[in-house]
Amino acid sequence: MSTEDHKSFEEIKHIENGEEFWLARELAPVLQYNKWENFKKVIDRAMLACKNSGANIDDHFPEIRKLITKGKGASQEITDYKLTRYACYLIVQNGDPRKEVIALGQTYFAIQTRRQEVRDYFNQLDEDNKRLVIRGDIKQWNQMLAESAHNAGVISNEEFAEFQNAGYMGLYGGETVADIHKRKGLNEKQRILDFMNSNELIANLFRISLADEKLKKEGICDRDAANKLHNQVGQEVRETIVRVKGTLPENQPTPIKSIDQVTREQLARLKKEKKKGRLMLDEE
């Protein structure tokens, strides 16, 4: 992270009674979101991730109201959020990965407690929520793996697709991405990771995180060597599944609902619960 980016996040940090927080409407432009409506969608996804991690949304995303002055002295009430560092981390994790500043923000707001919170709460989740949690982790680890692969000489999109294919072939006993896509009966716009159950996602998360670690540790700087390593890692994960008499990933059932559909349903349920809570408060 450059000094300039680090300073931007630090400059908008507030301290109140010894506690640090960020305001969502100040964070949005730093993360290059010019429209509040677009940034609010990211906040909604981050709130859902917060709920699925077992944390209390109101502890990390308390809503506040502000009066702002508009033209000719008129005032308008707007919504803002006081964000904890954890809330900011979830926001950048759910932001647009094409923005460089999002990747920088992920580094800045990264905290180790998240994984412990997820582990403690994970077994209490239903299957759909387990998928959401693991898919979020995979998104983060895939970005780190892409950076490690780039440093190892995997430069173009085509080369990265070949690199990814090598890992899948190792884990899936020779099946390519296209083979998996076809076996699951997906159309060309659907992503295979969005149609995996929690066990299949866990196997892929293991593959991705282990490949990232080995690329960094072994200092690979050759594209062919990186592909070979990723394939070997996939094979090692597959051999582990066989050794513990687990179900191989290609034999896992394909969920009917995509991750996107589950996310939409959970967001709708979350908004309904928040609305119901407000009505109950009004009735008191």
Which pLDDT tens digit goes with each residue over 106-121? 767 764 445 555 566 7
Amino acid at 208: I
Distance between CA atoms of residues 89 and 131, nearest Å: 19
**Of the ranges 2-16, 75-89, 185-199, which one carries the lowest mean pLDDT score?**
2-16
Smallest CA-to-CA distance from 89 within 66, 114, 70 is with 114
Q: What is the pLDDT of residue 110?
A: 64
Mean pLDDT of 89-100: 86
Q: What is the pLDDT of residue 47?
A: 95
Whose tokens are 């066989």? That residue is: 242
Tokens representing residue 244 in the block: 């513990």
Q: What is the pLDDT of residue 104?
A: 76
pLDDT value at 253 more than 90: yes
Claim: this prediction has a pTM higher than 0.75: no
Distance between CA atoms of residues 155 and 147, nearest Å: 10
Tell me the CA end-to-end span of the chain in Å, nearest whole number.
Answer: 49
**Residue 65 φ/ψ, nearest 5 degrees:** -115, 140
Query: Exposure of 53 by Cβ count < 10 A (0-12 exposed, 13-18 middle, 19+ buried)?
Result: buried
Distance between CA atoms of residues 260 and 174, nearest Å: 28
Distance between CA atoms of residues 92 and 106, nearest Å: 6
Q: What is the pLDDT of residue 19?
A: 85
Q: What is the pLDDT of residue 276?
A: 61
Contacts of 110 (CB under 8 A, 6+ apart): 89
Tens-digit pLDDT profile for residues 226-239: 999 999 999 999 99
